C-alpha cells in the first residue's frame, strides 16, 4: 500500500551502518526516538529459509507503524536487493494498536517491537551477506521517515534460534479459523458488515484491515445482539468500479489472542 502522509515531515534521516556487522546481527542504528537492528539465524535451513527480526527499540512516547498505518504514517518496508545470495525478505507483523495523531487515527506500535523477517536464501551452501535497506516511520510530535542499511553476515550453522527471534515469531497472530475469525462480509454501501466469531468468553475485540487500493475505511466498530457479533466498517470512499471478490486482509484481536486471515468483499 502506498504510504499516505497528511502532515509536514521533518528532513529525511538517512544513515548507513558503520563498521563490521556482528555475527547474525547488525549494529544498532540510532535515530530520534528509537534504535533498530536486524537479527538473523546463523544460517539458512536446507529449505533456504532463514528467520530473523527487525528490532525496533522505541523510546517512551514514540511510536511506529503497522503494515497499514491508517490515514497517516509509513508502513515498514525492507529491501534486500543489495544482498548476496538472498532472493527475498518478507516482514510479518504482531497485532497492533490504534492511536490518535491530531485528528487522524493511526495503527501501529507504542512500545518496543520485533517485526519477524523471513529471508529466502538462493543456496544455503554458499556465502550469504545481508544488506537490508529499511524504511519506517518513527513519530512523536513530529513524524520522521527513517532509512537505514542494516548489514548482517551469518557465519554459523543452522541450529536453535536466538531467543529474540523465537519470541518475535511467537507473538504473530495465528491463522483465522471457524471458531475465531471473520465469517463473511456484506456490502451495505456506506459500510461493510463483517460477521465475526470471537473466542468463548471474549467480551469484545478489535479488527484491523489492510485497505485495498481505491478504498478508504473508518474505524471498525463491534456490534452485538441476539448472540450475533459483527464489525461495521465505515466506507469513507470506494473505487468507481468495485471488483467483485476484492480481498480484505485482516487481523482480529480479542483479549490476549489474535488471528489473521482474508475475507472477500462481494
Max distance between CA atoms of the chain, in angstroms, equals 62
pLDDT category at 23 given cuts 50, 70, 90 is: very low
Using alpha carbons, select from 215, 208, 225, 206 the residue that is nearest to residue 187: 215
Mean pLDDT of the region 83-108: 94
The SS3 of residue 163 is: helix
pLDDT at 9 > cutoff 50? no
Domains of the chain are 13-170 (2.60.40.1250), 174-265 (2.60.40)
Are the beta carbons of 194 and 220 closer than 8 angstroms? yes
| Per-residue pLDDT band at 101 (split at 50, 70, 90) | confident
Instruction: Kindly tell me if the per-residue pLDDT of 119 is higher than 60.
Output: yes
- Write down the pLDDT at residue 159: 55
Against a cut of 0.95, is the pTM above it?
no
Q: pLDDT tens digits for 78-90?
A: 999 999 999 999 9
Rounded mean pLDDT of the chain?
89
Alpha carbon distance 188, 191 (integer Å): 5
Q: Is the pLDDT of residue 19 over 60?
A: no
Give the model's confidence band at 234: pLDDT under 50 very low, under 70 low, under 90 confident, else very high. Answer: very high
- Tell me what pLDDT residue 244 has: 84
Q: What is the mean pLDDT of residues 29-44?
A: 95
pLDDT digits (tens, 9 = 90+) for 121-171: 999 999 999 999 999 999 998 888 999 999 999 986 655 568 899 999 999
Q: How far is it, in rounded angstroms, from Cα 255 to Cα 266? A: 29
pLDDT band at 100 (very low <50, low <70, confident <90, very high): confident
Strand, coil or helix: what is 169?
A: helix
The DSSP symbol for 202 reads: -
The stretch 112-129 carries a mean pLDDT of 96
The yes-or-no verdict on residue 8 having pLDDT over 50 is no
Cα separation, 142 vs 133, in Å, equals: 23
Amino acid at each position: 500500500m502506498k504510504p499516505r502522509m497528511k502532515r509536514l515531515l521533518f528532513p529525511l534521516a538517512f544513515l548507513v551502518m558503520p563498521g563490521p556487522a556482528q555475527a547474525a546481527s547488525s549494529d544498532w542504528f540510532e535515530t530520534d526516538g528509537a534504535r533498530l537492528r536486524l537479527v538473523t539465524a546463523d544460517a539458512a535451513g536446507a529449505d533456504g529459509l532463514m528467520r530473523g527480526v527487525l528490532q525496533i527499540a522505541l523510546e517512551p512516547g514514540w511510536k511506529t507503524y503497522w503494515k497499514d498505518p491508517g490515514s497517516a504514517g509509513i508502513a515498514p518496508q525492507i529491501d534486500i536487493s543489495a544482498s548476496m545470495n538472498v532472493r527475498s525478505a518478507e516482514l510479518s507483523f504482531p497485532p497492533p494498536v490504534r492511536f490518535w495523531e491530531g485528528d487522524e487515527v493511526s495503527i501501529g506500535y507504542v512500545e518496543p517491537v520485533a517485526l519477524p523477517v523471513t529471508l529466502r536464501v538462493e543456496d544455503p551452501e554458499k556465502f550469504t551477506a545481508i544488506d537490508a535497506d529499511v524504511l519506517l516511520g518513527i513519530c512523536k510530535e513530529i513524524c520522521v521517515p527513517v532509512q537505514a542499511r542494516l548489514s548482517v553476515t551469518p557465519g554459523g550453522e543452522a541450529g536453535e534460534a536466538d531467543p529474540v527471534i523465537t519470541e518475535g515469531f511467537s507473538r504473530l497472530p495465528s491463522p483465522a479459523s471457524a471458531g475465531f475469525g471473520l465469517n463473511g462480509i456484506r456490502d451495505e454501501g456506506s459500510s461493510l458488515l463483517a460477521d465475526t466469531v470471537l473466542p468463548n468468553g471474549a467480551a469484545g475485540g478489535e479488527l484491523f484491515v489492510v485497505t485495498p487500493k481505491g478504498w478508504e475505511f473508518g474505524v471498525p466498530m463491534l456490534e452485538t445482539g441476539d448472540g450475533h457479533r459483527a464489525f461495521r466498517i465505515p466506507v469513507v470512499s470506494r473505487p468507481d468500479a468495485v471488483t467483485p471478490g476484492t480481498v480484505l486482509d485482516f487481523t482480529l484481536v480479542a483479549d490476549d489472542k489474535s488471528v489473521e486471515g482474508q475475507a472477500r468483499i462481494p
